[in-house]
Amino acid sequence: MSRTKEEILAKPVRSDHVDTYGPWAWIAGFAFAVLITWMMFYIADGFS
């Protein structure tokens, strides 16, 4: 009774957000983070 390597190893169960939503969601997330950071410094500069 020989078992192949595929039968021994567990099946992949990881589901990344890139697989679910695509790479554009990842890019949009970074763009949103940059926007929030820029706005934080833009607003804080007005108080100085």
Q: What is the per-residue pLDDT across 3-48, written as a single tens digit (0 to 9) for each? A: 565 566 666 677 777 777 888 888 999 999 999 999 999 999 877 6
Rounded Cα gap, residues 30 and 26, in angstroms:
7
CB atoms within 10 A of CB 26: 13
Q: What is the pLDDT of residue 31?
A: 97
Q: How far apart are CA 24 and CA 31, in angstroms?
A: 10
Query: What pLDDT does residue 41 have?
Result: 92
Does residue 18 contact residue 27 with C-beta atoms inside 8 Å? Answer: no
What pTM was computed for the model? 0.56
Domain residue spans of the chain: 22-48
What is the predicted pLDDT for the residue at 37? 96
Q: What is the rounded distance in angstroms from the CA atom of residue 9 to the CA atom of residue 27?
A: 33
